[in-house]
Homo-oligomer: A and B are copies of this chain.
Amino acid sequence: MFHKDLERIFHPRRVAVAGVSTEGFGFGRGIFLSLLSMSFAGELFPVNPRGGEILGRKIYRSIDEIPGNIDFAIIAVAASQAPETLEKCLRKGALGAEIISSGFRELGTPDGVALENEIRTIAQRGIRVIGPNCFGIYCPRSGLTMLPGPDLSRESGQVAFISQSGGMSIDFAFMGPWTGFHFSKMVSFGNGVDLRETELLEHFKDDDETGIVSLYVEGVEDGERFSRALRETSAVKPVVVYKGGQSEAGQRAVTSHTASLGGSRVIWEAALRQAGAIQVQSLEEMAQTCLAFSLLPPRIYRGITVAGGGGALGVAACDMAEAYGLSLPHLEGDVYEAVLSCLPKPGSSAANPIDIANPYVPPRMIREALIQAARDERVDIQVQVPLLYHFKALSTLMGMKSFQEMTPYLEMAAAAGEVTDITGKPVVVVLPNPRRGEKDMDVEELFRQARRAFLERGIPVFDMLSDAMRAIHNVSAYAAAHGRQNQ
């Protein structure tokens, strides 16, 4: 069942922000200014017992004073004031509230636990609570933003993120668009007194805007219901899970972070595998995996070609491939000859890895080489590794001031897209970006432009070959678990 009330929480029209001071760096003032900066679509009502004004807007002295009803509240008052504020929101007809204040169960004190229990009791009377001790909701379509996000993207995408951690949420909110995808909704639920991982998972299963669900979790409340939700969601869309606190020391840290009960590493691994979810080991891997799910057809990828980047990269590619269940079929016969005929000589090798002797080979030749290589039926996917930074050396040698014009990244992106379209076998690009000092900001800028060009053409881009292979492996693992093969 799709939870209509939950959906309305992501798109509220009248929102109270409790705890907005007229100056300083407090959370309440921060989130209020962030909502303005994001051009949030609804009406905002700042609240503070001291009253006053902020940017010419009246600050209400209490939730009660707001004219008419509200449908959502962001609560950033001291923990001890949170229950009373929440109670007022309930009376004002709010469907939900996020409590971004901390000072509850995570403190491990009797006072903290008691306050959190009060929150829970009020929630059970009919207001959905996100938090406390969280960064709240981010929804690009409505402009509802999380702490401290005044500059998150307003572009919507298909990735939902459910997170016990606020820090992970804000980092992931920035990491997504950079990596190459956007979000449908994001919820940082912190201590999770009411709305948390399982119910959100059930919600995003039925959310048409959401095509991929990602999840950072430290512990769950109802293991059985969580496993069922995970299994049912994985059956219709990829679910990517990063479980924090897998070590003994990590579990201890979890206790003081979100006060969750963990569960052993082995149990988690088995549960996630059985549910057909994909487990990742870092936020970076989660982002790269979401990108791969966004742009690659859900197939089992085994045979891979790696083209460009020099001989040692090819050697490293082979070493890595094994670990990710991939293999580099040795090209032979007329496919080999056809690939070789597209490459500069001497110094190139067409056997796969396809070692291209110099980084300045025109994109149309690489295009032709990849089309030829795809004729080998053992090849499922191709990875191209252009070394853009070498164009800087070339432009230095040629005494040119800007090397961006001479770097054919647009042609490269078009070629990669065409090879994918023509062969039906995806091309993935790795753009190694060995950063330098402040004087080479032009290389960094070119790198970002090129990255965007590939993404706009629907080509997944990764910084490192190992990242690409791991992400491809994760897509394969999902396809294998759900029986989708080369359809």
A113 touches B (CB below 8 Å): no
Closest to A357 in B: B102
- Of residues 151 through 192 on chain A, the ones whose CB sits less than 8 Å from some CB of chain B are 151, 164-168, 171, 174-175, 177-178
B257, B328, B360: which contacts A312 (Cβ < 8 A)?
A: B257
B311, B319, B394: which contacts A256 (Cβ < 8 A)?
A: B311
A253 close to B311 (CB less than 8 A): yes
A379 touches B (CB below 8 Å): no
Q: What is the bound-complex CA distance between A317 and B253, given in angstroms?
A: 9
A434 to chain B: which residues have CB within 8 Å? Answer: 171, 174-175, 178
A66 to chain B: which residues have CB within 8 Å? Answer: none
Q: How far is the CB of A46 from chain B (nearest CB, A)?
A: 14
A311 close to B258 (CB less than 8 A): yes
A438 to chain B: which residues have CB within 8 Å? Answer: 445, 448-449, 452
Closest to A438 in B: B448
A349 close to B313 (CB less than 8 A): no
A177 to chain B: which residues have CB within 8 Å? Answer: 436-437
Residues of A within 8 A of B (CB): 25, 30, 33-34, 37, 79, 102-103, 107, 133, 148-151, 164-168, 171, 174-175, 177-178, 216, 218, 244-254, 256-258, 282, 284, 309-319, 321-322, 327-328, 330, 346-347, 349, 351, 353, 355, 357-358, 360, 389-390, 392-394, 396-397, 432, 434-438, 441, 444-445, 448-449, 452, 464, 466
Given the known inter-chain contacts A34-B397, A355-B256, please indicate yes or no for A315 contacting B282, CB distance below 8 A: no
Closest to A349 in B: B256
A216 to chain B: which residues have CB within 8 Å? Answer: 312
Closest to A112 in B: B346
Q: How far is the CB of A360 from chain B (nearest CB, A)?
A: 6
Q: How far is the CB of A231 from chain B (nearest CB, A)?
A: 25
A253 close to B33 (CB less than 8 A): no
A452 close to B432 (CB less than 8 A): no
A250 close to B319 (CB less than 8 A): yes
A390 to chain B: which residues have CB within 8 Å? Answer: 148
